[in-house]
Amino acid sequence: MIITIQLSCVLLLLAASTVQPFQTVKIRPSPSRQKVTLSYSTDIDPIALSSSPTLSSSAASSSSISTEDLDNQIDTYADPNDRRYSASDWAHNMLSLPYSTILHAVRGPVGWITTWSTFVSLAYKTCQWNGMQSLANKMCLGPTPHSLIASSIGLLLVFRTNSAYQRFTEGRKTWEQILNTCRDITRMTSVYEHNVGLKRKQRIQRLLAAFPYMLQHHIQPRCLDHSQCKDLEHSPHALVLNEPRTISISNIARKRSGARECWVDKRALPWCLLPDPVLSKLGNSHNRPLWVTDRLSLEFTEIEYDDNFTSRERLELLKHTNTLSKCIGHCERIHQTAVPLNYARHALRSLTLWSFTLPFGVVDKLGLLTGPTVGVVAWLMYGVYEIGHRIEDPFQGSLRLTDLCNAIYRDVMFGDRNQAGRRRQSAFRKDFEKESDWDRVGAAFGVSRAEKEILGSAEKSGALSNEAYQ
């Protein structure tokens, strides 16, 4: 039985070592839309995208692509990550344990600790079988030292995980503010469309739709890999971006040097939303989302005043632009500021020493079960540490930024396409609507239709006095 348990642990670790990250992400298409597979270049996590999505469609190979064709190709109505696990999902979670990305990440230390614990248990039993009980007793430390240190290790892990979760929550709130601000700007430009102008409104919508993708590229570069760059090397669809820092441009990012040039496809989002003169300026900018906010400010200041659009409305639009600019700073602060190195090193060193010495505290009680038992404990402890490390920077996989960008694109680009113009844009049009249509609605607020007719006729005849109204 003991050998069976140990072999099971070894097989579990081997299965985790053979797990490969997802190479494709299939987004659920909405009704009347075709399914498209977006391929990404990454070796860490399917959500941490390091390259631009490639459309697996014939429309992507055309010389130009309209936003309506882009809507038909890309599912901008993908649901967010709303998966919840309850207690009834225990069987699914246990069966999917060999495919756990956390187990795949911590398989190294867990494997070493399990092997070391098994070796200690075998050495302890060998000393007992050969009559060297005194030597076997010297290998036992007892549970007291590790019980005293366990509380300190727990505090280190809890503090790191809590601080990482706060950063995760702050990052999500920042992108929520971006979503709400973009919606507010499009609402104002639609209400004041007569003053803003149709052409300027379309430019503002395209800049707003491109902003979240630019911010995502700013904190999470999405460059084409070498094979895609060769295909676009002599193509007019290639766009070379000058990056302020060295970035990885290959699938094996940690084994190959990066470059300061990032190749993207003009036919993909967000580059297809902007004309070539604007793209050339964006390519030379080191902070592209900030460039977009600056251009939005210029568009707002060029709107002429009249009786309906005054300085109050312009300042309100500029205020929304300043909010987007502040969100850039918030994302940069979270992305560029890591947990203090001294704290991270001390927590990891303490956890490692505690785990490697744990077999000496339990070997006299567990015997040959020390290996698998300590291995499970190491998986739990290092798993918590790895979770804190992953959500420390929520923009590298914890948050589904692509879904958030698609949601902003969906709500912003409503007036620039034929189909979407009939959705949100219809709220700003009163075509085929009459005031009498509202009067035909049934009873509301306790006033029936007959009472409405009586009150209406009495009001027209002037029979009601001011006291009756009160």
409-446 per-position pLDDT tens digit: 988 886 444 454 456 777 887 778 887 777 777 655 55
> How large a percentage of the chain has pLDDT more than 70?
71
Separation CA 164–CA 330 (nearest Å): 15
Angle 304-204-76 (CA atoms, 0-180°, nearest 5)? 155
Q: pLDDT digits over 116-166, tens only?
A: 999 999 999 899 888 888 888 888 888 888 888 888 898 999 998 999 999
pLDDT of residue 379: 94
Average confidence (pLDDT) over 166-175: 94
Contact between 390 and 397 (Cβ < 8 Å):
yes
Over 70: is that where the pLDDT of 64 sits? no
Q: pLDDT digits over 97-111, tens only?
A: 888 889 999 999 999
Separation CA 238–CA 229 (nearest Å): 8
Separation CA 39–CA 46 (nearest Å): 10
Average confidence (pLDDT) over 206-227: 88
Instruction: Rank 61-70, 301-310, 337-346 by mean pLDDT and report only the highest.
Output: 301-310
131: three-class secondary structure by DSSP: coil
Angle 22-26-28 (CA atoms, 0-180°, nearest 5)? 145
Q: How confident is the model at residue 201 (pLDDT cuts 50, 70, 90)?
A: very high
pLDDT of residue 30: 37
Which H or E run includes 87? none
Which residues lie closer than 8 Å to 399 by C-beta, 6 or more apart?
A: 168, 171, 172, 175
Distances (CA, A) of 132 to 1, 127, 362: 26, 5, 19
pLDDT of residue 423: 66
Over 70: is that where the pLDDT of 319 sits? yes
Q: Nearest-CA neighbor of 415 among 182, 205, 188, 194?
A: 205
Q: How confident is the model at residue 233 (pLDDT cuts 50, 70, 90)?
A: confident
What is the residue type of 78?
A
pLDDT of residue 20: 43
Over 90: is that where the pLDDT of 63 sits? no
Computed over its alpha carbons, how large is the radius of gyration of the chain? 31
CA max distance for the chain: 115
The DSSP secondary-structure symbol of 61 reads: G
Average confidence (pLDDT) over 358-387: 92
Q: How confident is the model at residue 253 (pLDDT cuts 50, 70, 90)?
A: very low
**Between 253 and 186, where is the model more confident?**
186
Contact between 257 and 244 (Cβ < 8 Å):
no
Write down the residue that tokens 């391929």 correspond to.
39
Distances (CA, A) of 332 to 19, 42, 402, 457: 32, 22, 18, 64
Over 90: is that where the pLDDT of 214 sits? yes
What is the residue type of 124?
Y
Q: pLDDT digits over 257-276, tens only?
A: 455 678 888 888 889 999 99
Q: pLDDT digits over 351-370, tens only?
A: 999 999 999 999 988 889 99
Contact between 110 and 13 (Cβ < 8 Å):
yes
Q: Nearest-CA neighbor of 207 among 305, 313, 324, 311?
A: 324
Over 90: is that where the pLDDT of 303 sits? yes
275: three-class secondary structure by DSSP: coil
Contact between 117 and 371 (Cβ < 8 Å):
yes
| Cβ-based neighbour number of residue 261 at 10 Å | 14
Q: What is the total residue count of the chain?
A: 470
Separation CA 124–CA 170 (nearest Å): 50
Average confidence (pLDDT) over 207-217: 94
Q: How confident is the model at residue 82 (pLDDT cuts 50, 70, 90)?
A: low
pLDDT of residue 139: 86
Task: Give first-to-last CA distance, the chain, whole Å.
Answer: 87
Over 50: is that where the pLDDT of 54 sits? no
**Between 371 and 413, where is the model more confident?**
371
> How large a percentage of the chain has pLDDT more than 90?
36
pLDDT of residue 31: 38
Q: How confident is the model at residue 447 (pLDDT cuts 50, 70, 90)?
A: low
Separation CA 13–CA 459 (nearest Å): 82
Mean pLDDT of the chain: 77
Distances (CA, A) of 297 to 301, 316, 331: 6, 11, 20
What is the residue type of 277?
P
Separation CA 281–CA 274 (nearest Å): 11
Over 50: is that where the pLDDT of 279 sits? yes
Instruction: Rank 18-22, 26-30, 393-397 by mean pLDDT and report only the highest.
Output: 393-397
Over 80: is that where the pLDDT of 72 sits? no
Contact between 232 and 346 (Cβ < 8 Å):
no
Phi-psi region of 145 (alpha: psi -120 to 50; beta: other; left: phi over 0): alpha
Q: How confident is the model at residue 11 (pLDDT cuts 50, 70, 90)?
A: low
Contact between 324 and 178 (Cβ < 8 Å):
yes
Separation CA 151–CA 174 (nearest Å): 34
φ, ψ for residue 437 (rounded to 5)? -65, -35
